[in-house]
Structure formats: structure tokens, C-alpha cells
A and B are shown apart, each in its own frame.
Chain A
Amino acid sequence: QSALTQPASVSGSPGQSITISCTGTSSDVGGYNFVSWYQQHPGKAPKLMIYEVSNRPSGVSNRFSGSKSGNTASLTISGLQAEDEADYYCSSYTSSSTLVFGGGTKLTVL
């Protein structure tokens, strides 16, 4: 199974919005509404931010939103804050009943 494709880095200024893409195939992202997004700060375990494409777990800010179109899922962070600076990973269920991650995107808040 191949990793999902994410941009290596994105950046934005405080208060702005950014979007991170996650591209797969019809055997993973495009075939199921089981895309999730994780935030990872340095030296910490990943934290679930979005599940089932667009659902936020309790306690996650509504500045985080998810969507999907075809084989590409997206994570949008609005009203960027310094604390949002982290690595972000997408994940998808696959037709092999496995789960595959994206390569990760480093978000820099300028």
C-alpha cells in the first residue's frame, strides 16, 4: 500500500486560514468516508482532530474542519494561532481493511 500524498509544508500568518490536502486513490480516500486527521507537536503523540472526513471529537476547536472530494481529502484550519504550529497527518481506511497514513505536513505559523 502506498502512503497518501500530502504537501511537505504549508505556512500562514496568525488569523489566516490554511488548507492541507491529502490525495489517495479510489481504494482508500475515494472509496470510504473513513478519513481522519492528526496533529502532532514535537516529541508528543499524535492527537485526533477529525474523523470520518468531517467530524470533530469533543474538545477539538471548531477552527478545524475537514472535507473530501473524490480521491482528495482536505483539512482546513481557520483563524490560525501560534499553537497550531505542528505536523499534520491524514489517514484513510483501505480496501484491504488496513489503514494508511499520509507522509505528513509541517505547518508553520509565521
Chain B
Amino acid sequence: QVQLQESGPGLVKPSETLSLTCTVSGGSVSSATYYWSWIRQPPGKGLECIGYVYYSGTTNYNPSLKSRVTISLDTSKNQFSLNLSSVTAADTAVYYCASLNTAAFDPWGQGTLVTVSS
């Protein structure tokens, strides 16, 4: 059974780059079965899909974030990562990683809160 775990800094300064990693166990990021995705949820608000990456390296990003987002795979570590540049307070959120199959997110990581503040 696939399990995912997010890791990374909980505090990022404005204008800097937010970087998170998702470690996958019980499955392989090199598998063609899943896409690997990032979703975020600002405090008290709804969910937003940031984007996803396929085992081939093909990516797809939310148009509203596309200019600032990079999602990539590290097959040697069985991980995938999120980089979000030029962050502002509006990027403060719980960030989740999840596997994506037939356009459904399952399972999800437990989530990690990232606060953007000086």
C-alpha cells in the first residue's frame, strides 16, 4: 500500500523559494500507474491543486501558479518535490502530496504547514 510523507521547512521568508519533498513508500515514483501531485490548503480555506508529475517527467501545473512552480522526480530516492518561488503571505498553507490515478487523489500524505513570514 502506497504511503506518502511530506518534509521541508515550516517557515519561509517572503520572496524566497518554498521547497518541499514527498517520500513515497510501498510504491515507486517510476511506476506508470500513478501521477504524483501537490495540493495546498490555506488556513480555514479550501483545497487547491498545484500540479502533478508523471514517471516520464511530464508535468502539469495550475495556470494561476504555473510561472512560479516546479514539480520534479528523484527516482534514486523514490521522492518527488515541489519548488514554489517568490512566495508571499498568500502562499501560507498546509501542503499535501498525494498520488493521482484516474483523476482521483489517493492516498494523501499527512500534510505540512508552511508559513511565509519574515
Contacting pair A32 B46 (CB below 8 A): no
Is B110's beta carbon under 8 Å from chain A?
yes
Contact with A98, one of B60, B96, B102, B105 (Cβ below 8 angstroms): B60
Is B48's beta carbon under 8 Å from chain A?
yes
Is A57's beta carbon under 8 Å from chain B?
yes
- Number of B residues with CB within 8 Å of any CB on chain A: 24
Contacting pair A45 B108 (CB below 8 A): yes
Q: A100-B49, A101-B46 are in contact. Are A48 and B104 (CB under 8 A)?
A: yes
Q: A45-B108, A45-B110 are in contact. Are A52 and B102 (CB under 8 A)?
A: yes
Is A69's beta carbon under 8 Å from chain B?
no
Chain A residues near B110 (CB-CB < 8 A): 45
Chain A residues near B104 (CB-CB < 8 A): 34, 36, 48, 51-52, 91
Is B106's beta carbon under 8 Å from chain A?
yes
Within 8 A of B (CB), among A29-64: 32, 34, 36, 38, 45-48, 51-52, 57
Contacting pair A38 B105 (CB below 8 A): yes
Contacting pair A48 B60 (CB below 8 A): no
Which residue on chain B has the smallest CB distance to residue A6? Answer: B46
Contacting pair A51 B111 (CB below 8 A): no
Chain B residues near A32 (CB-CB < 8 A): 103
Q: A1-B62, A1-B63, A45-B96 are in contact. Are A98 and B49 (CB under 8 A)?
A: yes
Contacting pair A98 B63 (CB below 8 A): yes
Chain B residues near A57 (CB-CB < 8 A): 106
The answer for the CA separation of A67 and B103 in the assembled complex, in Å, is 16
Is B14's beta carbon under 8 Å from chain A?
no
Q: Which residues of B contact A (CB under 8 A)?
A: 37, 46-49, 51-52, 60-64, 96, 100, 102-111
Q: Which residues of A contact B (CB under 8 A)?
A: 1, 3, 32, 34, 36, 38, 45-48, 51-52, 57, 89, 91-93, 96-104
Offer 28 A-B interface pairs, CB within 8 angstroms, sorted by A.
A1-B64, A32-B103, A34-B102, A34-B103, A38-B47, A45-B96, A45-B108, A45-B109, A45-B110, A45-B111, A46-B47, A46-B96, A46-B108, A47-B108, A51-B102, A51-B103, A52-B104, A89-B47, A91-B49, A91-B104, A91-B105, A92-B103, A96-B60, A98-B61, A98-B63, A99-B49, A101-B48, A102-B46
